[in-house]
């Protein structure tokens, strides 16, 4: 049986969509995916109450959970904590509900794209620093050097590339990171942040990789894109199939990727 992942993102506990979350939880109970991957913006303002709600929801699902933090997951009202220990609250959640996942089909490689501060505004946009990229590339190379046939999926909060056809990439270092990860042998990168789903084959500098994003499960909807999540089915050798699921009230159903 291929490995089935449910990919959700941008739940934004605090302004979450309860109907959308119920739809995902119901699908998990029914279909028992091998793991649930959430690519960040777990909370709206990184409040303790929002993290508590996230902990309650994730811990009740009964499947392995894999998390990456988003820009909303660092303290918003406590600048001291944001600068001294920005991921303390996120790390506590991860320790409580997430234990990592790999299977005979797929390896998930995390890539941190959120930073506590930047030299530009908005701070919400992504940055790929060498200290984040290097271990991800090294992990992929080690798998390839060992002849590991499994599909490799990088998980990040921010899309590494901008919209197709637009010259500007809001993620600093995203183009170089995309090329380095693809050159190392990653098959896909999955992300959230923009609250709009996509599934594209992209290429930078001759290095190609699939770029898959899912929408939000919050009420922060963008450009008429409804609440949604994605089923990602993996087999070795870079074989990936995806299916977008709509989760908004009255929008239950399946949409081809
Ligand atoms: Fe975000």
Place of tokens 């995390």: 110
Residue 51's pLDDT is: 97
Separation of CA 73 and ligand 1 centre (Å)? 9
Q: 41 C-alpha vs ligand 1 centroid, how far in Å?
A: 5
Residue 43 CA to ligand 1 centre (angstroms): 10
Nearest to 86 by CA among 99, 94, 76: 76
Helix 174-184 to helix 130-145 angle, to the nearest 10 degrees? 10
Cβ 150 vs Cβ 104: under 8 Å:
yes
Q: Which residues surround ligand 1, an ion (CB under 5 A)?
A: 41, 70-71, 193
**How many Cα neighbours within 13 Å face the side chain of 59?**
12
Distance 173 CA to ligand 1 centre (A): 17
Any idea which fold 3-256 has? Purple Acid Phosphatase; chain A, domain 2 (3.60.21)
Confidence (pLDDT) at 251:
46
Q: What is the 3-state secondary structure (H, E, C) of 31-52?
A: HCCCEEEECCCCECCCCHHHHH
Distance of CA 157 from the midpoint of ligand 1 (Å): 7
What is the domain partition of the chain in residue ranges?
A: 3-256
The predicted structure's pLDDT at residue 121: 76
In the reported structure, the alpha carbon of residue 67 is separated from the centroid of ligand 1 by a whole-number distance in angstroms of 14
Query: Within 13 A of 254's CA, how many CA atoms are on the CB side?
Result: 5
Rounded Cα distance, 101 and 73, in Å: 22
Ligand 1 center to 150 CA (angstroms): 29
pLDDT confidence of residue 118: 81
Task: Give the pLDDT means over successive 10-residue stretches in the chain (257 positions).
Answer: 97 96 97 98 96 98 97 88 90 93 97 87 89 98 98 98 90 97 98 96 97 95 88 98 82 42
**Cα→Cα distances 199→56, 196, 217, Å:** 30, 10, 18
In this predicted structure, what is the pLDDT of residue 256?
36
Distance 104 CA to ligand 1 centre (A): 31
Measure 44 CA to ligand 1 centroid, in angstroms.
9
Structural contact between residues 104 and 236, judged by C-beta atoms closer than 8 angstroms? yes
Of 63, 54, 81, the residue nearest 6 (C-alpha):
63
CA 15 to chain centre: 18
* Cα(142) to centroid(ligand 1), Å: 30
Quote the pLDDT of residue 248: 63
- Burial-class residue 113 by CB neighbours within 10 Å (0-12, 13-18, 19+): buried
* CA separation for the pair 156, 153 (Å, rounded): 10
Q: Give the three-state DSSP class for 144.
A: helix
If you measure from the C-alpha of residue 198 to the centroid of ligand 1, how many angstroms do you get, rounded to a whole number?
16
């Amino acid at each position: 049986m291929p490995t089935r992942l449910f990919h959700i993102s941008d739940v934004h506990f605090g302004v979450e969509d309860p109907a959308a979350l119920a739809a995902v939880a119901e699908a998990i109970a029914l279909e028992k995916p091998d793991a649930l991957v959430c690519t960040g913006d777990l909370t709206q303002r990184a409040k303790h109450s929002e993290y508590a709600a996230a902990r309650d929801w994730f811990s009740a699902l009964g499947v392995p959970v894999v998390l990456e933090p988003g820009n909303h997951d660092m303290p918003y009202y406590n600048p001291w904590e944001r600068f001294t220990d920005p991921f303390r609250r996120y790390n506590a959640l991860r320790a409580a509900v997430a234990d990592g996942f790999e299977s005979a089909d797929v390896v998930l490689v995390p890539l941190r794209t959120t930073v506590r501060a930047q030299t530009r505004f908005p701070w919400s946009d992504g940055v790929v620093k060498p200290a984040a990229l290097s271990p991800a590339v090294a992990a992929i190379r080690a798998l390839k050097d060992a002849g590991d046939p499994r599909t490799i999926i990088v998980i990040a909060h921010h899309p590494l590339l901008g919209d197709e056809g637009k010259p500007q990439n809001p993620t600093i270092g995203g183009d170089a990171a995309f090329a380095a990860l693809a050159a190392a042998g990653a098959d896909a990168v999955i992300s959230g942040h923009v609250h709009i789903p996509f599934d594209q084959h992209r290429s930078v500098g001759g290095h190609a990789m699939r770029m898959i994003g899912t929408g939000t499960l919050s009420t922060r909807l963008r450009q008429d894109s409804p609440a949604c999540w994605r089923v990602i089915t993996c087999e070795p050798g870079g074989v990936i199939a995806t299916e977008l699921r709509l989760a908004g009230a009255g929008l239950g159903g399946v949409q081809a990727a």
